Chain A
Amino acid sequence: MKFNYLYNPFFLIAGFKSFIIGFIGLLLTSYLAYLTGTHFIGILNIDFAKDSKFCFFLLESSSHWFLMSTLFFLAGTILSKSRIRAIDVFGTVLLSRLPFIIVPLIRIIPFFQSFSAYSTAMFIIIGVYVFSLIWFGLLVFNAFRISCNLRNEKLIFSFIICLILAEIFSKLLIWLLT
């Protein structure tokens, strides 16, 4: 039963509490990403380069969160019969990003700091990233489902559309800034 909390902790933590925990997680992830040069461009692209200032890494993480939460909130407001609280949507989505801390955390180890293409280090990092991506997917799906109180087709289709749009918009934003 407790295993469920790993991919659906939102029955226990939601609203302002999840926002605070998620926000600390976001700052920590961005700082570790800055230290190790781990770029999250949207969620489907990861890049390894110690080439930018801290604010750029913070922007990469926070822009995707903000865009995704806004889209979820809009979808929830339009499609759900319940009253949607912005703090629930933004807080739970923020908390869902916690698995993204794993890759920058691993990249503190010297073996993973600088490596050649198709090396063991590269494949391990990609493997870990895929794992954290799946974990994030489960968390954010439950975050959307619970905070927007959506079900069935409405839930599935709006989730997929929001995910795609957030990915496109965040990539566009980062591209415009670089």
Chain B
Amino acid sequence: MKTNLLPLCFIVLFSLNACSQDLKKLDNTEVDSEKLKIAQAFANDFFSGLKNDSYYEFNDVAIDELKNQMSEENQKALYKQLKSQFGDFQFLEYAETWIQSNNKSVQINRFKGEFEKSNKKLEIRVVVNDSNKIAGLWVKPWSDMLQ
């Protein structure tokens, strides 16, 4: 009876794994350092600019959809909301990089952001696409479980 349990456990785990989002965490050696540099510089400049009452001018750094969405007003509104909840942006540090198994050229870079009033670090997620352009930016509570 006990020996029959092991294959059953594997079947259950395999079935559960089929539900996963098919994301893969990269080792530091596998990370595209150019994409990472772009992401880190963007995130730093974006939040430092807003902290100093300025805003980020995208130029050719990001895809058009993001540029259109992130107008000066929207950027300032986003930062105002963050500031009221967590305080001013302090700094960010690189945490990890993930890719989608079916689209390896898109790199999901995760940074931990320190904010003045928050006891907890926030996630600043920057997605860089195959043309090395910023394709997404998220700020959310940090979780070791990528969602």
Contacts and interface: CB of A to CB of B under 8 A. Distances in A.
A interacts with B: yes
Interface of A: 37, 47-53, 56, 113-120, 122-124, 177-178
A113 B144 CA distance: 7
B58 to A, nearest CB: 29
Nearest to A112: B144
B20 interface: yes
B147 interface: yes
Nearest to B96: A114
Given A50-B142, A52-B119, 15 more contacts: A49-B143, A113-B144, A115-B25, A115-B146, A116-B146, A117-B20, A117-B21, A117-B147, A118-B16, A118-B20, A120-B13, A120-B16, A123-B13, A124-B13, A178-B118
B20 A120 contact: yes
B112 interface: yes
How many residues of B sit at the interface, in one of the four size bands?
A: 20 to 34
Contacts of B17: 119-120
Contact of B141 (A49, A115, A120): A49
A168 to B, nearest CB: 21
Contact of A123 (B16, B96, B141, B144): B16
Contacts of A118: 16, 19-21
Given A116-B98, A116-B145, A120-B13, A51 B23 contact: no
A107 to B, nearest CB: 8
Contact of A49 (B23, B98, B144): B144
Contact of B145 (A51, A120, A122, A178): A122
B13 A51 contact: no
Contact of B112 (A48, A51, A119, A123): A51
A47 B23 contact: no
- The 9 tightest CB contacts between A and B, nearest first, are A48-B144, A51-B121, A51-B142, A119-B20, A116-B23, A51-B120, A116-B146, A120-B17, A118-B19
Nearest to B143: A49
Contact of A117 (B96, B112, B122, B146): B146
